[in-house]
Amino acid sequence: MTSDPGLVDALTQLSFLVQGTLAELAGQHDLSLIQVRLLGVLRDREPAMSELGRHLGLDKSSITGLVDRAQRRGLVTRNVSDTDRRAVQVSITGAGQQLAEEIAARFTERIEAAAAPLSDPERQVLSRLATRIVTAAVRTPRSG
Amino acid sequence: MTSDPGLVDALTQLSFLVQGTLAELAGQHDLSLIQVRLLGVLRDREPAMSELGRHLGLDKSSITGLVDRAQRRGLVTRNVSDTDRRAVQVSITGAGQQLAEEIAARFTERIEAAAAPLSDPERQVLSRLATRIVTAAVRTPRSG
DNA sequence: TATTGTTATACTCTATAACTATA
DNA sequence: TATAGTTATAGAGTATAACAATA
């Protein structure tokens, strides 16, 4: 069971590096991590508030506030659903899309720069090993 | 420069998996991520408030509140420094240590379980590649 | 004067509970 | 009745600015 005592440490530190980079870049545009995640979800979806809550793992009341603040900044819009007048569909605006793309581009640059010490084949191996862990985790969610 | 278009994605998803696991375990003990990090820093140090701020990347006023809440729960204590009567040294209590160890143990279990789909040599490779990225990043901090 | 820490204030983020409107 | 979303409220976490105590 106990493989390499350094693996957990290495993955933890790497996760802090990655998340810290994302938070820093978001902060440069006065955005929080959760606001960036919100924009990310909206890039290819137009979900109802309740769906947003499931995607982000937040209570519906939290989503109300989150969308309020994003809307106040012109990053998203609310629209009443055509088929269910209780439901509110959230869309990203052009400004929101632009901001999300800008942050994503800078983020990619930074992570690739961080991985630059590795050779090309090493990066490919890393990518594949990381993908296998993530894929397995998605297929086997922690039941608690 | 653009190596594998999937590397950034893979590392990002992995970082969310790792951080999400830590946040979930912390939450099971009504702790936030930053409170767990606070206890982690205090495991082998007895820093002043200002040093704590540097370790955690937070303003001194944020540290005051953070330590307030941890102290209220009996996880840390404040002591006036012997050599500088302005300075306040923060120590972890027995209860804090115990809680930190419990969470760290569960975290190690969960991350090792997540990495279990990889073979022993694969895990070792992953550990080494991740370590090289983190080490290089520490040696070459983003100047901004 | 400079540094250490706290306080006052404001804002984001989050949840629970109560509410409105719709289904 | 049940569901979708908002509002009211409370608390954690964060920063800026002003402050007190010490160096």
Residue pLDDT, tens place only, B121-140: 999 999 999 999 999 998 88
Is residue B1 pLDDT above 60, yes or no? no
Mean pLDDT of B25-33: 97
Our CA angle for B41, B46, B50, nearest 5°, is 80
For residue A92, the cross-strand partners are A76
Query: Which pLDDT does position B128 carry in this prediction?
Result: 98
B68 vs chain A: nearest CA distance in angstroms? 24
Which residue in chain A is spatially nearest to B1 when comparing CA positions?
A112
Is residue A90 pLDDT above 50, yes or no? yes
Q: Cα A127 to chain center, whole Å?
A: 18
Q: Residues A62, A72: contact at Cβ < 8 Å?
A: no
Is residue B143 pLDDT above 70, yes or no? no
- Among protein residues, the one whose C-alpha sits closest to the C1' atom of C12 is A32
Contact across the interface for A129 and B136, Cβ inside 8 Å: no
Strand C contacted by A88 CB (< 7 A): no
Query: Which pLDDT does position B140 carry in this prediction?
Result: 84
Closest CA to B53 of B90, B85, B24, B82: B90
Query: Which pLDDT does position B5 carry in this prediction?
Result: 55
List bases in chain C with any atom under 7 Å of a protein Cβ: 3-9, 12-18, 21-23
Mean pLDDT of B31-38: 98
Contact across the interface for B14 and A12, Cβ inside 8 Å: no
Is residue B89 pLDDT above 80, yes or no? yes
Query: Which pLDDT does position A50 carry in this prediction?
Result: 98
Residue A4 — pLDDT band, cuts 50, 70, 90?
low
Query: Which pLDDT does position A23 carry in this prediction?
Result: 97
pLDDT tens, position by position, A119-131? 999 999 999 999 9
Residue B2 — pLDDT band, cuts 50, 70, 90?
very low
Our CA angle for B24, B10, B31, nearest 5°, is 15
Strand C contacted by B86 CB (< 7 A): yes
Strand C contacted by B46 CB (< 7 A): no
pLDDT tens, position by position, A31-67? 999 999 999 999 999 999 999 999 999 999 999 999 9
* Mean pLDDT of the residues in chain B: 95
Query: Which pLDDT does position A93 carry in this prediction?
Result: 98
Distant-in-sequence contacts of A112-121, Cβ < 8 A, 24+ apart: A112/B1, A112/B2, A112/B3, A112/B7, A112/B8, A114/A17, A114/A21, A114/B133, A114/B136, A114/B137, A115/B3, A115/B7, A115/B11, A115/B133, A117/B132, A117/B133, A117/B136, A118/B129, A118/B132, A118/B133, A120/B3
pTM: 0.94
Query: Which pLDDT does position B142 carry in this prediction?
Result: 74
